[in-house]
């Protein structure tokens, strides 16, 4: 891939799609700022990328659910004048139903999935607009269109999708590209952390992280806002929103065996 950007900041960069974005962008010659909670994993990733590719890799350990750490990262972005690609990838899957949440998981998800992308994007845009070029990728999910994926997870991912669409409209003519990446089931550690049993889901529904990221970066060059990787995921997303199948989908979403397959506890 030819480098279209000079410097990228990636949240949630220590694993999964974030790590894959880092690898593919480094291979294309893009300098990186890697953000995640786990400093040790960031250091290992940065060291490996710096040794393999002629790029600058900086780490910024931060927990985006904490206000002061989020504010510090936003200030870092404002001070990085040459940042021209922001990837809001940090996120996690809920482990309990909304009405059973007694540990503040729902509020934490709003902070990480909604508040953090809003604050970081607003911090990055002024310099991009001054230059007349730049891009923001918000990692959403096919769960944005799903009644199966939990009240908070689906809702926050739906926000990212609509935020991206409307922000792109606001920025029309300013040279800024905005994308909402909406992947389906992807082979990363995300599902193990969320307590999801991958063995209950047919293998053909899964995609590799490298393919998902490759599709995202290629689509960014084609100015697509909502990007759903994979034909199966596009069909599933269509069926979940189609008026002809909507009632059936809603009926299925209330069946306990279906929700169990979707890791809904």
From CA 170, how far away is CA 154, in angstroms rounded?
24
Q: Taking residues 184-196, what's their average pLDDT?
A: 55
From CA 88, how far away is CA 85, in angstroms rounded?
10
**Domain range summary for the chain, segments of one domain joined by +:** 7-261
Q: Is 153 in the active site? A: yes
In this prediction, residue 100 carries a pLDDT of 73
pTM for this entry: 0.85
**pLDDT tens-digit profile of 195-249?**
454 554 545 455 899 999 999 999 998 889 999 987 787 777 666 666 656 565 5
Name the active-site residue from 5, 21, 53, 153.
153
Higher pLDDT: 130 or 239? It is 130
Kind plus residue range of the DSSP H or E element containing 30: none
CATH of domain 7-261: 3.40.50.720
How high does pLDDT run on average in the chain? 85
CA 114 to chain centre: 11
**pLDDT tens-digit profile of 17-44?**
999 999 999 999 999 999 999 999 999 9
From CA 141, how far away is CA 184, in angstroms rounded?
6
Q: Taking residues 150-174, what's their average pLDDT?
A: 94
In this prediction, residue 150 carries a pLDDT of 77
CB-based contacts of 105: which residues, under 8 Å, 6+ apart? 94, 95, 96, 152
Residue 256 has pLDDT above 70, yes or no: no
């Amino acid at each position: 891939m030819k480098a279209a950007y000079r410097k990228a900041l990636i949240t949630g960069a220590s694993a999964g799609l974030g790590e894959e974005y880092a690898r593919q962008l480094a291979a294309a010659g893009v300098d990186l700022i890697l953000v995640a909670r786990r400093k040790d994993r960031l250091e290992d990733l940065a060291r490996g990328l710096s040794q393999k590719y002629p790029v600058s890799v900086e780490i910024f350990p931060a927990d985006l659910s904490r206000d002061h750490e989020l504010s510090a990262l936003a200030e870092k972005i404002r001070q990085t004048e040459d940042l021209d690609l922001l990837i809001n990838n940090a996120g996690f899957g809920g482990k309990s139903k909304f009405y059973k949440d007694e540990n503040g998981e729902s509020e934490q998800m709003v902070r990480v999935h909604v508040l953090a992308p809003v604050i970081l994007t607003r911090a990055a845009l002024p310099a991009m607009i001054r230059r007349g070029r730049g891009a923001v990728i918000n990692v959403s999910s096919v769960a944005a269109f799903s009644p199966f994926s939990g009240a908070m997870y689906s809702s926050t991912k739906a926000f990212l999708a609509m935020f991206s669409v409307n922000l792109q409209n606001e920025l029309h003519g300013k040279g800024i590209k905005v994308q909402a990446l909406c992947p389906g089931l992807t082979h990363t550690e995300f599902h193990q952390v969320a307590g999801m049993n991958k063995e209950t889901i047919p293998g053909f529904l899964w995609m590799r992280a490298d393919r998902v990221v490759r599709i995202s970066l290629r689509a960014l060059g084609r100015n697509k806002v909502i990007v759903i990787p994979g034909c199966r995921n596009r069909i599933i997303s269509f069926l979940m929103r189609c008026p002809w199948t909507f009632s059936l989908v809603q009926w299925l979403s209330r069946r306990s065996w279906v929700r169990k397959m979707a890791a809904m506890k």
